[in-house]
A and B are shown apart, each in its own frame.
Chain A
Amino acid sequence: MPRRIRTAKMLAQRVDINYFKRSHRLRSWRFYLSLAAIVVAAVWVLSFTVRHTRHAYSPGVVAEVHTIFGERCDLCHLPEGTGVHKKMLVSDKACLSCHDGPRHGKEVPVSTCTGCHIEHRGIKAQLSAVSETSCSSCHKTLNPAAVSFNSTHPEFPELKDPDPGTINLNHKVHMSAKVGATCDSCHLPADAPPCKPKGSVCGRASATYAFMAPIKYSDNCASCHNSMSFKTAFGDSAPHDTPENIEAWFAKNHNGEDAATAPAAIAAAEDQLWHSSCTVCHLNIDFSGKLPVIQPPAITNRWYKKANFSHDAHRSLNCIDCHSNVPSSEKTADVNLPGIKVCQECHKPEHAESRCFECHVYHEWPREKKIEGKIKLNQVVGIPAKRMAPLAELTAPAVRPE
C-alpha cells in the first residue's frame, strides 16, 4: 500500500462543505444559555412589578432615622409628570412633610434638600453629614473664602479683637503656685450645680458641659475675693454691690456715730473703698461724678457665636492643651481661645471630623416651624406593598417657608 499522502486538496476534499449550516454543540449551548440568561433576568425584573415592590431598585438602605418607612418609596419619591415623562423624584415637598428647614439667609440661592442631604447610603449614614462642596460651592467665592477647614478656612475672627471685658484678670497670677487656682476653680460647665459649700472647688458633675457657665462674682470670685477684700476705714467690710447700694450701706451702718464727722468720714471711707478695692478688679472706673460709674463686666459668655462647640466632646483633653496661652496670660485683653491651627491638629481628614457641618449650621433653626405629623404608624408598618395608601392620602403637601 502506498505511503499516506496529505495534500491541501485532499485535506480540503475530506471536509463536508455544508458543515456551517449545521449548529455545533458549543454554539448551541451558548445560544440556549444566552436565551436562558435573558429570560431569567427579565422574569426577575418583572417579578418586582408583580409583587409591587421597588425595594430591589433601591441603591442602598435608608438611614436609621428613616427605616420606619424604608419600604414606602412613595412617601419620599412623589410622582411628577405623566406617561413616559413620569418621574418619581424626591422633592422638597416630601421632606417638608416632616421636617422644617429654614433657609440660610434670604439672599442665598435656594438649594433642594437632596442637593445636600443624600439618602440611601446605608443604615449608619448620617444625613446631616453634608459634604464640604455643598458649602464651598458658595463660600469659596465669598470674602473671606472658605473651601475646606484644612486648606482655606480663615482664622477665627473672634481672635482679631481684644477681649472687651472690663474685669482686671491676670491668669498667670491666679494659676501661680502662690494662688494655686486651676481652670475649674472658676470655669465650670454651664449646667453644673453651684459650689456648695461656698468657697469649695466644685468637681465636674455636669452631664454635658457643652459650654462654660458665665463668670459671676458670687460663683467664681467670691470664694477668694470675699468680704476681706472690701475692708473700709471703719474696720468693717462693705458688700460687693453697686456704688449706690454701698453708699446706702455706709449711711445705714455708720449713720449717727458722729453727727459732725459722719458725712465726711463716710465720704472718705467711700472714696478709699472705690480707689483701693474696686479698682483692683474693675477697669476704667469713671470717677468724674458724685459716685463712681462702674463699667459692666462685659465678660463674653459665648465666643464662637457662628459655630457649635462642645467642651463635653473634648473632655479627655487637658484645658491647657487647647488654651495654651492661659498660664502666661496677664491681661484682661488677652483672648485665650485656641486659634484654628490648634483645632486643625485633630480636625483633619482621617482624624476628627473636619467637614463644615461639624461646627456650622446651615438652617436658621430659630425660625423653625413646628410640623404636624400626619403619618399614622399603622399606615407604614406591617402592610403589604400593594395595599399601601398613596402619599396624598396620608400627608398634605408642605410649602417651603421663606
Chain B
Amino acid sequence: MRGHLWLGLLSLPMIFFHSGFKFGGTLTSTLMILLLVVVASGIFGAILQHLMPAMVTERIPMETIFEQIDHVRAQLVAEADGMVDAICGPPDLDIPAVAAVMPAGAAAAIPGSSAGVLPLRRFYNREMRPFLRNEKIRSRALINETQASAIFEGLKKLLPSADHETIDSLEQICEEERQLRRQVRFHHWLHGWLLLHVPLSLALLLLGCAHAVMALRF
C-alpha cells in the first residue's frame, strides 16, 4: 500500500512532464482528467484512512463487523424485545382487563402492572423499537445521547427499582445502536471514495494501454 501511494503520487509529475504540461487531443485529455481524479480521490482516501481509524476506535468502542451490522441489529431488537416483555408482559397483553378479573393482591404479580409499564411500552413501541430497527422516526431523541439518557432516567422514576437494571440495559442497547449507525457512516466515508477511485483507475488503465499502443504505432 505504501508503494502504491508513493508510486501513484510520483506518477502525477512524471506524466505532467511526459505530456509537456499539455492536455493534447481527445484521448490524452481524457487520460489526464482521469489521472487527476484518480490521484485526487486516492489522496482523499489516504487522508481518510490515516485519520479515521483513530476516530473509529475512540468513538465506536462497540464496533462490530460492518457486514454483520444488520444481523447484530436484529439481535439487539430481539434482546430489547425480551427485556421489555419481561417488564411489560407480552406485547398484546391487555393489563387493565386482566387485573380486573384477578383477585385483589394478585394483580400486583401481573407483569407490567406498575405505573411505568404503559409509558415504557408506549415509548418502546413508538420510538425505541423503530430506532433499533433503523426505521425512520419523527423523534430524534434517541439519536442524541443526552436526550436518550434523560428519557431513560424518567422511565426509571416510573418503574420499581427492580426494573432499573433492565432500563440500564435498554439504554446500553440504544447506545450500541447509535454506535452501529456511527460505524455505518464512518464505513461509508472510509470506503465510499473507492467507488470513484477503483472504476476510474481501471478505465485509466485500459485507455492508457490504448494510448501507449497508438503512440508507439504512430
Contact = CB atoms under 8 A, between A and B. Distances in A.
Contacts of B173: 4
A61 B202 CA distance: 27
Contacts of A6: 62
Contacts of A14: 71-72, 75
Contact of A45 (B28, B64, B202, B206): B206
Contact of B191 (A22, A26, A36, A61): A26
A58 B191 CA distance: 37
A2 B217 contact: no
Interface string B117-134: 000000000000000000
B210 interface: yes
B25 A24 contact: no
A40 B210 contact: no
A365 interface: no
Nearest to B199: A37
A11 interface: yes
Contacts of B203: 37-38, 40-41
A203 interface: no
Nearest to B216: A87
B26 A56 contact: yes
A15 B71 contact: yes
Given A19-B67, A45-B206, A57 B27 contact: yes
Contacts of A19: 65, 67-68, 71
Interface in A3-17: 3-4, 6, 11, 14-16
B147 interface: no
Interface string B167-199: 011001100000000000001100110110011
B6 interface: no
B194 A30 contact: yes
A26 B192 contact: yes
Of A14, A40, A54, A89, most buried by chain B (CB within 10 Å of CB) is A14
Interface residues on B, range: 35 or more
A30 B195 contact: yes
B25 to A, nearest CB: 4
Interface in B33-88: 62, 64-68, 71-72, 75, 79, 83, 86-87
A11 B64 contact: yes
Contacts of B64: 11, 15
Contact of B199 (A16, A36, A42, A88): A36
Contact of B217 (A11, A33, A58, A87): A87
A306 interface: no
B114 interface: no
A3 B192 contact: no
Interface of A: 1-4, 6, 11, 14-16, 19-20, 22, 24, 26, 29-30, 33-34, 36-38, 40-42, 44-45, 54-61, 73, 77, 86-89, 120-121
8 contacts: A15-B72, A26-B188, A30-B195, A30-B198, A42-B206, A59-B24, A73-B218, A89-B218
